[in-house]
């Protein structure tokens, strides 16, 4: 898939990126985008991915491409 991106030296799919952020498996994930922000830990590029941790919820996750930093935004 063209959506794959390199995160911490590894190629990840949108779903895999969402799982790295969530810390467990997720139902579904949208395409990875570049977030308009820098990592607060290392200043690296931050990726954004919308995903469904479960059937009734949708959140936006953020993950640094270069370090372990990540964050989850609940949209409701
Ligand atoms: Zn970082």
Residue 38 Cα to ligand 1 middle (Å): 8
What is the distance, to the nearest Å, from the Cα of residue 73 to the centroid of all Cα atoms in its chain? Answer: 11
| Ligand 1 geometric centre to CA of 7 (Å) | 10
Q: What confidence tens digit (pLDDT) does each residue in 7-41 have?
A: 999 999 999 999 999 999 999 999 999 999 999 99
Degrees (nearest 5) of the Cα angle 49, 63, 23? 85
Helix (H, G, I), strand (E, B) or coil at 22: helix
The alpha carbon dihedral of 74, 33, 46, 24 has a sign of: positive
Band (pLDDT 50/70/90 cuts) for residue 74 is confident
Residue 9 Cα to ligand 1 midpoint, Å, equals 13
What's the CA-to-centroid distance between 64 and ligand 1, angstroms? 5
For residues 36 and 62, the answer to whether their CB atoms sit within 8 Å is no
CA of 24 to the centre of ligand 1 (A): 20
Place of tokens 């941790």: 53
Q: Which residues contact 43 (CB under 8 A, 6 or more apart)?
A: none
């Amino acid at each position: 898939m063209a959506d794959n991106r390199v995160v911490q030296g590894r190629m990840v799919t949108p779903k895999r990126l969402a799982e790295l952020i969530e810390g467990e498996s997720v139902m579904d994930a949208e395409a990875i985008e570049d977030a308009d922000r820098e990592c607060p830990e290392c200043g690296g590029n931050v990726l954004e991915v919308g995903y469904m941790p479960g059937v009734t919820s949708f959140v936006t996750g953020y993950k640094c491409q270069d370090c372990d930093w990540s964050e989850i935004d609940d949209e409701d």
